[in-house]
Amino acid sequence: EGAGEVWASDISEEMTALAQDAYPSTGITYSVRDAARFDGIPTGHFDLVIMNMAIHLLADLNAFAKGIHSLLKPGGRFVFSTDHPLRYVAYKAIDAYDVDIVGEYEEYLTERAIQTYNPWSGREDLNMYSRPFGAYLNACGRNGLYVQEVREPETVTGSADNPMRTGAPYKMIVLAVKP
């Protein structure tokens, strides 16, 4: 078992360089690119595509899901993680932020762009998109990726000496499959 081929990309030249330095002779194909750019990547080629905590930076979920669908082989899997809609409850429970929970959820159903800064990429032109969780699932379904599983892990953070737990999850993981 194991991967016959691995491709890795990030918007940050610095993060890509760190990965290349950490795994220099593993045969991984590295690239610096926006996640929604699929040029130069073979179609119908991959068994698995993973996106960790970046899907909320994409403006057009439908175009992205369509692109992921084109990259996957039949039976291929797409796994992504994102913030949980209850994240502010979790943050409040572990005293991570002084947050107005009611205020944060007043506009939950309204999709909106929020300008953000990514310290790893040095880019100040990034938007984070606040949208209901259903928007991610619907984009998958509309583009032939069928959601097989959603996981909502328990929030455990802090240090080994001072772990903080709450029953309110702040991250979630989705597995979608191309039939």
Q: Tell me the mean pLDDT in the region 50-59.
A: 93
pTM for the model stands at: 0.87
Residue with tokens 């606040």: 130
Tell me the pLDDT band of 119, cut-offs 50, 70 and 90.
low
Say how far apart CA 47 and CA 143 lie, in whole Å.
Answer: 17
Q: Which two tokens stand for residue 122?
A: 């040095």
Entry field: residues in the chain = 179
Give tens-digit pLDDT for 2-42. Answer: 788 899 999 888 889 999 999 887 889 999 998 889 999 99
- The number of beta carbons lying within 10 Å of the beta carbon of residue 25 is 5
Say how far apart CA 100 and CA 52 lie, in whole Å.
Answer: 27
Q: Comparing 73 with 165, which gets the higher pLDDT?
A: 73
